Amino acid sequence: MPATLQEKLRASRFVITAEVTPPVSADRAELLAKARPLKGLADAVNITDGAGARPHLGAVTAAAMLVEQGIEPVLQLTCRDRNRIALQSDLLSAAASGVRNLLMLRGDDPSAGDQPDAMPVFDLDPRSLLDTARRLRDTGELPTGRKITGRADFFLGSADNPIDPTPGWRPTGLLAKLDAGAQFVQTQFCMDAGLVRRYMARLAEHGVTDKLSVLIGIVPLRSAKSARWIKEKLFGAVIPDALIHRMERASDPAAEGRLICIEMVHELVEVPHVAGVHIMAPGNDAVVPDIIKAARDSISRLEPA
């Protein structure tokens, strides 16, 4: 049986994860058409949960469909849409479906979506949801103390935004997530390997990297315009001006964006304590398999998934 994402990270394999946004569709074939090209390439595939505060095929169902196809999912669960009762039910449903990897997120505010009058819930925050999932796994109990049957063998993740640390800065947020049960993080886009190197060094000083696997978010840029939008509109995203200028000068910006993404993998492999990369390509899913293949073909540390 192929190693799981958790096993690969424990073995210090440099992993590559990717992301799929479930379609606005009741046709399972549409989801599988997006996910199947990643099979055997990505070490795991994230399933987003109501991305952009818009309805899609449900994340738990979509993740279960990937399990059926032999594709290891990372199920994203947001706190925006469900109260603690519904979230606990989703955790049980995920476990029963063979979904092990969970990424706990706050979720985009409904005002960002296509139904801005929708009521947000936020009954739990991501740390509370992490703690709930850890309790299910480690004690077999709901927060009420009620025992569950079966196993919830979760590998727990959270999000992070790399920053250029100032003198005296401490990773307070990540330390709190560690305390709540986080075992890995996937970050917002950070296309600056130098910043990542400085950030990871500071995390190591505080002992975070001994306990937490950090996967850096990267993006195959499509144009200078989209690069600027990410830089200006996505909280926590890091896109250096030099990359934007490079995209502006490119005769084929999309091809240049793919090359930059592969180069980022090359650079991040060499950064101490970076456990892998998480490739996100909203609206540009088709390019990801070729990027992963090119990266694996050129870097010996990147073994086949």
What confidence tens digit (pLDDT) does each residue in 97-144 have? 999 999 999 998 999 999 999 999 999 999 999 999 999 999 999 999
**Residue 301 φ/ψ, nearest 5 degrees:** -70, -20
pLDDT at 297: 87
| % of the chain beyond a pLDDT of 70 | 97
Measured CA distances, 28 to 23, 31, 97, 263, 289 (Å) = 9, 5, 16, 34, 20
pLDDT in tens, 213-272: 999 999 999 999 999 999 999 999 999 999 999 999 999 999 999 999 999 999 999 999
User: Of the candidates 79, 82, 133, 75, which has an alpha carbon nearest to the alpha carbon of residue 105?
Assistant: 79
User: Of the candidates 296, 284, 57, 72, which has an alpha carbon nearest to the alpha carbon of residue 189?
Assistant: 284
| Statement: residue 1 has pLDDT above 60 | no
User: Of the candidates 288, 177, 190, which has an alpha carbon nearest to the alpha carbon of residue 234?
Assistant: 190
pLDDT in tens, 131-190: 999 999 999 999 999 999 999 999 999 999 999 999 999 999 999 999 999 999 999 999
Residue 88 half-sphere exposure toward CB, CA atoms < 13 A: 19
**Close Cβ partners of 305 (under 8 Å, ≥ 6 residues apart):** 2, 16, 40, 41, 42, 43
pLDDT at 282: 87
pLDDT at 127: 97
CB atoms within 10 A of CB 173: 13
Helices and strands in the chain: count of H runs, count of E runs? 11, 8
| Statement: residue 75 has pLDDT above 80 | yes
**Domains of the chain, each with CATH number or no CATH:** 5-220+273-283 (3.20.20.220)
Is there a contact between 42 and 18 (Cβ–Cβ < 8 Å)?
A: yes
**Close Cβ partners of 266 (under 8 Å, ≥ 6 residues apart):** 295, 298, 299
CB atoms within 10 A of CB 303: 14
Beta-bridged to residue 141, according to DSSP, are: 147
